Amino acid sequence: MDQQKHFARQAKLVDYFHSAPISRSTGMRMAYNENGEAVFTMPYNPNFDHAMHDVHGGIVATMIDNAGWFTVAPHYEFWIATVEFSTRLLEPVQKSDLVSVGKLVRRGKTLSVCNMEVKNTQGRLIATGAGTFMATTIPLPTV
């Protein structure tokens, strides 16, 4: 795939994410860095705390999945599906903005593997993950 087409697909995916209800609900923002990795930022929101006043692990897992999915997605012409992903919660997060990044490990014809991580804005590693993503035959929606 040529670089111009790849960048156009990234731009389309950024628009697609920002138009999704989850983006508005969580306040997450998304962009691609110079390495083509998806980077998600999420401001702290006390509505996502569990009873001990730490950010709920499900929110961290969502950031892991998003970082992997959107890192892999521009490499395919069609919608991709998350086949599986794991999340390792390394420490609790209190009242901190979060940043997640995906790192493509291997891209195949239909399956890709990605490693992901979540840090707080001070750079402390909060969680790591890995995922497998599969290209489907479903066209990407128009934004």
Among candidates 142, 6, 131, which has minimal Cα distance to 66?
Answer: 131
Question: CB 100: neighbour CB atoms within 10 A?
Answer: 27
pLDDT of residue 45: 94
- CATH code of residue 27: 3.10.129.10
Instruction: State which residues form the domain around 22.
Output: 3-139
Burial class (CB in 10 A: 0-12, 13-18, 19+), 45: middle
- pTM equals 0.93
30-65 per-position pLDDT tens digit = 999 999 999 999 999 999 999 999 999 999 999 999
Q: How many domains does the chain have?
A: 1
Gyration radius (Cα) of the chain, Å = 15
57-93 per-position pLDDT tens digit = 999 999 999 999 999 999 998 999 999 999 999 999 9
